């Protein structure tokens, strides 16, 4: 992995290359930004460049021994950790990290992909870094002298998943990093990191990718035809990882139909229908529900383009144009901005471990009200 294999992120790549050229390497970095935009790819590229024997213009040469080991995920002085579920077998970690070394935009986390032997599904099980992981595994690995590299590099995926005790234990590692040790923390929830951890790290922001950047990557790397790539890129909301999941998913048409059915049944408001539908949606896991809500946002934004901007040529779900146009025609009082806000808020709540089933039931109630012109319905209500 080198800088030219990272899609977009020119500002971040330039800053990191200048850091390497100057030799002023910080002992800790936080790479933050939306999921799937290149933070992991940049972390691996930085780790590889730090070990390279023939650094060229701030980039790894790609041919020396350390480079070859780094790009295969085999360098003994580059350590990568990820949060796991409580019952995850230790033997399941290595194949995930190997897959990530081969494709840092891939989906390998325990929550989105409980098993590496099957297609990415999702799980309701929480993932986390435990204090035992910090004290017994990470501290031990970073206490050894470098084996052969210039630096000891520790890359922490989803660093926002430190439990309180683990975060405090990790803070002690940051305070006494050891010579030639570089920590790279990766997160899409920088607000979940302790301020004391952030204060000891150099922060690097990674932005959502453009539609053209994602579409180009899909054509080049996934061999998608340009038209399909453009559609998927618009649905991916700035994330190449999400676009790649969409590209490889045979379930996308079914998921979209589930979303359309959820909208229809929410409008009709029949509890004997909506409750079983919600149960079926929530039973497939938190990540799958977030995916459903992402598709729902895409459909609602298409509705807004048709209703307000009168720009049907810009919609993403072009094959649903007739259905969406009928929706706008038949529900002329619908408050589409309020519907979008409700879906976004529900996705936010689900990310923070609110009960998925209750969140979807509440969302159904709000969508029903908004489709009838009510602008005051809320997903959550204050008890104060």
Mean pLDDT by 10 residues, the chain (384 residues): 86 93 92 94 94 88 92 91 79 83 85 61 70 86 83 92 89 85 93 91 94 92 85 84 80 81 88 88 82 86 78 69 82 86 89 86 91 72 44
CA gap 226, 240 in Å, rounded: 15
- Output the CATH code of domain 251-371: 1.20.272
In CATH terms, the fold of domain 3-205 is Rossmann fold (3.40.50)
Give the three-class secondary structure for 203. Answer: strand
Q: Domain residue spans in the chain?
A: 3-205, 209-249, 251-371
Decide if 153 contacts 79 (C-beta within 8 A). Answer: yes
Tokens of 268: 């009709």
For the entire predicted model, the pTM comes to 0.77
Count, residues in the chain: 384
Give bridge partners of residue 84 from the DSSP assignment: 128
Q: Are 351 and 124 in contact (CB under 8 A)?
A: no
Distance separating alpha carbons of residues 216 and 7, to the nearest angstrom: 9
Q: What is the end-to-end Cα distance of the chain in Å, rounded?
A: 52
């Amino acid at each position: 992995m080198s800088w030219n294999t990272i899609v977009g992120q020119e500002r971040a790549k330039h800053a990191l290359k200048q850091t390497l050229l100057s030799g002023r390497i910080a002992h800790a970095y936080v790479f933050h930004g939306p999921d799937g935009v290149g933070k992991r790819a940049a972390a691996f590229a930085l780790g590889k460049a730090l070990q390279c024997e023939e650094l060229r213009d701030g980039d790894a040469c790609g041919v020396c021994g350390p480079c070859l080991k780094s790009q295969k995920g085999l360098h003994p002085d580059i350590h990568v950790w990820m949060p796991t579920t409580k019952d995850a077998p230790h033997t399941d970690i290595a194949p995930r990290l190997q897959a990530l070394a081969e494709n840092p935009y891939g989906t390998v986390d325990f929550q989105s992909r409980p098993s590496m032997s099957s297609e990415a599904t999702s799980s309701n099980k929480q993932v986390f870094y435990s204090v035992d992981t910090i004290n017994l595994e990470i501290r031990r690995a970073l206490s050894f002298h470098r084996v052969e590299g210039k630096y000891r590099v520790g890359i922490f995926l989803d660093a926002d998943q430190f439990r309180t005790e683990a975060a405090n234990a990790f803070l002690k590692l940051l305070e006494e990093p050891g010579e030639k040790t570089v920590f790279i923390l990766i997160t899409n929830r920088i607000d979940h990191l302790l301020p004391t951890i952030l204060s000891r790290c150099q922060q690097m922001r990674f932005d959502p990718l453009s539609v053209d950047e994602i579409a180009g990557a899909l054509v080049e790397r996934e061999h998608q035809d340009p038209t399909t790539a453009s559609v998927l890129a618009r649905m991916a909301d700035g994330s190449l990882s999400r676009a790649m999941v969409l590209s490889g998913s045979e379930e996308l048409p079914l998921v979209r139909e589930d979303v359309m059915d959820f909208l229809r049944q929410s409008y009709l408001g029949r509890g004997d229908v909506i409750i079983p539908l919600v149960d079926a949606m929530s039973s497939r896991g938190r990540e799958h529900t977030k995916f459903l809500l992402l598709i729902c946002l895409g459909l609602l934004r298409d509705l807004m383009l048709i209703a307000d901007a009168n720009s049907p040529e810009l919609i993403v779900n072009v094959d649903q144009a007739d259905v969406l146009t009928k929706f706008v025609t038949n529900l002329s009082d619908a408050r589409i901005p309020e519907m979008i806000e409700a879906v976004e808020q529900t996705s936010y709540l689900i990310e923070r471990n609110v009960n998925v089933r209750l969140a979807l039931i509440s969302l159904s109630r709000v969508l029903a009200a908004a489709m009838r012109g009510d602008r005051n319905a809320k997903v959550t209500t204050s008890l104060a």
